[in-house]
Structure 1
Amino acid sequence: MAEQGAPRHTTLRRTLNVWSAVGVSVALMAPSMAININPQGTASAVGRAVPLAFLLATVGVLLIAHTFVRLSQRFSHAGSVYAFVGVTLEPRAGSVAGWLNAGTYVFYGAVTSTAAGIFLTDLARKVAAPKELPDWAAFVFAWLVLAAVWWLSAREIKGGTTVLLVTEGLTITLILVVAAITLGKLITGHTPNGQHVDMSVFTVAPGTSVSTVFLGIVFGFLSFAGFEAAATLGEETDAPRRNIPRAILGTALFGGVFFVAVTAIEVMAFGTDTDGVAAFVKSDALMGDLAQQYVAPWLSYVIVVGATFSAAACCLASVVGASRLIFALSRDGIGPAALAAIHPRRNVPHVAAATAVAAVFAIQAVGWFALRARPFDVFTIAATAGTLILLVAYGLATLGAIRLVFLAGDDRIHWWEVVLPLLGLLLLGYTLYRNVIPWPHGSALWGPCLAVAVLILVVGGVLARPAAAREAGVKLMAQQGF
């Protein structure tokens, strides 16, 4: 809730319901995009054990979801983890968490718009120009998507959240139909190359250590990332301390069932042997390829189009989430005051949204022109960096939840619940550790290096302005009624 007497241009209005919050969380998680392009990264690390990695990621996400549910039952703020951590720990930690979360959403904006560009390039090659279209065309398509996202992010969000939810829902339904038909053929043995139901997908292959699974879990967390995005609508949603927790937990539960079940079918359908895993890793759109092999070739085009819309919707949700965090941080003096402006008619932080879009464009432009990276390389680097800094923000929020359990004096929270955030913290910590120790080499170095650079920049920037952090803490306490 806004501070009493706050200037009108820094006050958001409550115009959204629980389904609007669900729409932003589901769109940012973008399951129909994620299921097409994220499991390949997991498979490159863990082979056939992709569903196992996603199952472990689901456990971690549900533990983190408990943290966000408990915190959002007490606090409703556009700054999400900035407010959660700032109130439960201290303002400087909250500022760090807020900027890291905003950075994650910006990186995911680059990930998802690039993914949309990759899907469109793949579709154009299949339909119109099989050989002539170069890889860099994906960046051009990505920027067309980004231009549309910029336009939509500056409009009132209420109608946009409905479009996000309906678009994602239709594509997910189609993917589930293809998955069900594929599973039926696996059970009956009507498969292209003798593939069959094989529960070894929930075990690691010989020669692969269990600890290696945690390298693949990063892409599992990437697939879930954004499930908590509803928390950024805490100042725009009716009854936020009831509706926001429902949206967060419901999105996390759905994502867990969807990702584990569908990745298991995907891996089985491609085959669990070396050739099958290799084909799985090389796929540009997993469900599109399955539709072509197991259902009907024309359906693969429909799924790729749906995944493209999903990626574009996820980019929009990423910009929406980033803009709310940037707005909240800037309103409290942790960022430039100009970024706290709200459009007088549309009730959106339009300047913060434009800033987030510009940052997404800059990431892609540097990747293309300065690093000479391919679109999928930019996708992977931004995905890894965004996920690693998000895990740090999740860790800070989890520490805040642990402190809340012991100090809140809230009869809704039982002392034994501290076990859940502690387990979540252990899983987050080990996943981070396993992704930087031993330090990666070659092209795998870019993502962790970028994450470390952002972390140093954010921590250094916050520590350099202690007075601003203290003032932000006072504002946070007042806004939350303490």
Structure 2
Amino acid sequence: MRNLKKDSLSLVETVALSAAVMAPSVSMALNVSLITGLAGYSVTIIFLISVVITFCVSATIIKFNQMFSTSGSLYKFTEYGLGKKAALVSGWALFLAYFTLVLGVSAALGSYLSSLLATLHIHVGWLPISLFLSLVMWVLAYRDMNVSTRVMLALEGVSISLILILAGVIFFKVGLHGMSWAPLSFGSNHFSAVAEGIVMGLLSFAGFECASALGEETRNPKKMIPLVIMGTIAGIAIFFLISSYAQVIGYGVTPTGIQELSNSTMPLSDLADKFVSKQYAFLVVLAITMSLFSCVIGCVCTGARILLSMSRDGHLHKSLSGIHGKFKTPHVSVNTMMTASLLLQILFYLVTRGDGKDLYDDSAYVTALSMLVAYMFVNASGIAYFYRNKIWNIYQLIVPVAAIVAMLYTAYSNLYPIPPFPMNLAPYITVGFIVVMLIVSRLTKHDTNLQNIDPVDQEVSYGPYD
């Protein structure tokens, strides 16, 4: 039985995957306008609250990574505290989050590049572009992980740098008289509007834990991965606060400015055109396109490793645990994800004739809700596992409890009052997918032997808690 390439990823390469999956420049390009539409100018305070919740959620995940090294990420961590049945629910929720990111971000990539080419008087629809680039991303995710991470790091680094330069120019040109505390206040927003915005804020941090799926491949993973998770959240949080504030200030804290920001499909490009030049706006759109590209690769790499882990445990057809002989990647799982993504993009276009950005917007709530499910399960698992094994005392458990409460309230506020179509379908899609895949897991379940089990399980003794 082949294994993933052990000790092959350095600190820089592990950081690259985290940065690519979180795709901070994509979040600033797509999610700020969504939050503005929900909660007006209170964008930066919403990101600040999302940072606090994310750090609370991450505490349990960081602790698990200090103890175990696995490719199963939150799926395996949930199993240690809550057992195999709960782990399957968590695993499928987490997989759905990564798959919908692959689907939505691939479509948004096609849409952005189509708009970019239009500025050069080259008119190509988003779907052909998305399908072609999906094939390129498929090849990169299929091949050696070292190659993929280097590509992702270079692309994300360029896009973040360009956006930070733009923010600096905006601050300089608006001057002190153009600054405002409004983005750091709630204004007249109701709690429900703030909670809806927080879901989008948390979506921007979605995937912060993805380095957990590299437990078999990272050097010194029990030290390296916790460091990467903490550092990535902190660094990207600063970037989000600066960039989101700059966008609100750039458009202006007025009803007209907020309306323009919420309606803009390319706010960073518009701001670059206004404050710098059309050429710089072109570069910003190109940078966001590159970030979208790297995000898809990272999500495929992470999602495929979750499928690999569930297959190793006997919960999916054993073919999904296949590892490429040369590249040491979960190539069967990669092929499965990318094939499904291509087919659904085509189906979406045939049924709706909508833009790729519409597919991203429609799938974003499913991504956010499924991530919330996975994060709640892993924090509940941490409470159970760390308490009964006397790893954390009662006071330390306050952090995961607070995280669960915050996520439950956020989820509830996005379920009631019932949001408009198609966002109202997100809970049904999330629950329906998990139920269907639990049935699939039951039907395809197969016996495993020691060689097929996730290597971390060979180190762990569950004792009476199995």
TM bucket by the smaller chain?
Answer: over 0.9
**Counterpart-to-counterpart distance in 2, 1:418 and 1:481:** 22
CA distance in 1, matches of 2:42, 2:448: 44
Q: Secondary structure at the match of 1:73?
A: helix
Residue 431 of structure 2 aligns with an amino acid whose one-letter code is V
Task: Assess if the C-alpha contact under 8 Å between 1:389 and 1:455 holds in 2.
Answer: no
Q: Contact 1:96 / 1:459 at 8 angstroms: preserved in 2?
A: yes
> Partners of 2:84 and 2:55 in 1: how far apart?
26
Partner of 1:110: 103
> What SS class does the counterpart of residue 127 from structure 1 fall into?
coil
Contact 1:182 1:294 in 2 (8 A): yes
**Over 6 Å off, 4+ runs:** 463-477
User: Aligned with 2:119: secondary structure?
Assistant: helix
Write the letter of the residue equivalent to 1:401.
G
Q: Which range is displaced more, 462-471 or 270-279?
A: 462-471
Quote the Cα distance in structure 2 between the aligned partners of 1:334 and 1:416. Answer: 36
Deviations 1:329-369 (A, max 9, x none): 11111111111111111110111111111122233222211
Q: Deviations over 1:235-278 (max 9, x none)?
A: 11111110011111111111211112210111111012221111
Letter of the 2:65 partner, please give it.
S
Determine the structure 2 residue equivalent to 1:219.
200
How far is 1:31 from its partner? 0.6
Task: Give the length in aligned residue pairs.
Answer: 461
Residue of structure 1 aligned with 2:227, choices 242, 246, 252? 246
TM-score under structure 1 length normalisation: 0.90
Report the TM-score, using the length of structure 2 for normalisation. Answer: 0.93
Describe how 1:253-402 pairs up with structure 2 within 5 A.
253-402=234-383
**SS of aligned partner of 2:216:** coil
Unaligned runs of 5+ in 1: 1-6, 190-195
The 5 A counterparts of 1:57-456 are: 57-129=50-122, 133=123, 137-187=125-175, 196-206=178-188, 208-410=189-391, 413-456=392-435
Q: What letter matches 1:199 in structure 2?
A: W
SS, match of residue 329 in structure 2: coil
Percent identity between matched residues is: 26
Q: Residues of 2 paired with 1:332 and 1:480: CA distance? A: 15
Shift of 1:397: 0.5
Which amino acid letter does the alignment assign opposite residue 387 of structure 1? Answer: A
Shift of 1:120: 0.8
What is the alpha-carbon root mean square deviation over aligned residues?
Answer: 2.3
Instruction: Provide the C-alpha distance between the structure 1 equivalents of 2:172 and 2:414, rounded to a whole number of angstroms.
Output: 37
Alpha carbons of structure 1 residues 477 and 307: separation in structure 2 relative to 1, 3 Å: closer
- Counterpart of 2:464? none
The answer (yes or no) to whether the contact 1:43–1:277 under 8 Å persists in 2 is yes
Report Cα offsets for 1:145-189 as digits up to 9, x if no partner. Answer: 211111111110112212211221121111111101111112255
Q: CA deviation at 1:371?
A: 3.8
The CA distance in 2 between the partners of 1:451 and 1:15, in whole Å, is 35
